[in-house]
Amino acid sequence: MKAGILIGHLKHGGNEAALIRTAETFGIGTVHVLGKRRKKYGKSQGAANHVTFTEHLDPDAFVEYARIHNLNLVVVENTSGAEPIENGVNYPVNPVFIPGHEALGVPSELVEAAARPSDRVIKITQSRNSYVRCLNTAAATAIVIHDWFRTLIQRDRDKQQPYGTEAENAGA
């Protein structure tokens, strides 16, 4: 499975470094960058040395690349119509996670491009009592990537275990 994360539109090097570290921790080997890659991602704790960076001129160039390489867009955006992760997301194969900038969100071209049945626009539902509009970009994306990783582990476990109850399988 090819998985990736898109950065470059976030503006904060600290968020980008945290996202690279999270991606590498959970086996995501490709970091897609809108625009030019930074020379250093100091707070990534060395994770930047263990991922592949791919630069894309703009959102349209990234989407074209994603389509050619059979990558599916997973937009992480607190917006109406987004699928809440707590409902259980059926993550696509070859996902590229696209987090939103805390103030600006995900570029509209990327949200609109996530329209294929294999693409997803997802969100993390927050408490209604919260005065904060959204989570920190790196924190929200880490939650989503962990949720995706958890589903991969569960799928592997399900493949290894026989179907039915223990009693049904004992007679097989």
Query: How far from the centroid of its chain's Cα atoms is residue 12's Cα?
Result: 18
Give the whole-angstrom CA distance, residue 44 versus residue 58.
24
How large is the average pLDDT for residues 4-20?
Answer: 79
Q: How many domains does the chain have?
A: 1
Structural contact between residues 41 and 20, judged by C-beta atoms closer than 8 angstroms: yes
Other Cβ atoms closer than 10 A to 101 = 16
Q: Which helix (H) or strand (E) holds 95?
A: strand 95-99
DSSP 110-148: HHHHTTSTT-EEEE----TT---SS--HHHHHHHHHHHH
Taking 50 as the threshold, does the pLDDT of residue 44 lie above it?
no
Using one digit for the tens of pLDDT, what is the confidence trace for 72-113? 999 998 888 899 999 999 999 999 999 887 778 888 899 999
Two tokens, residue 12: 């904060």
Half-sphere exposure of 149 (CA within 13 A, CB side): 14
- What is the CATH classification number for the domain harbouring 33? 3.40.1280.10
Task: Write out the two tokens for 70.
Answer: 């059979």
Q: What is the pTM of this model?
A: 0.83
Q: What is the largest CA-CA distance in the chain?
A: 62
Structure tokens at 46: 């060395």
User: What pLDDT is recorded for position 61?
Assistant: 95
Q: Give the domain range for residue 12.
A: 4-170
- Residue-wise pLDDT for 52-71, tens only, equals 888 899 999 999 999 999 99
What is the pLDDT, as a whole number, of residue 49?
Answer: 64
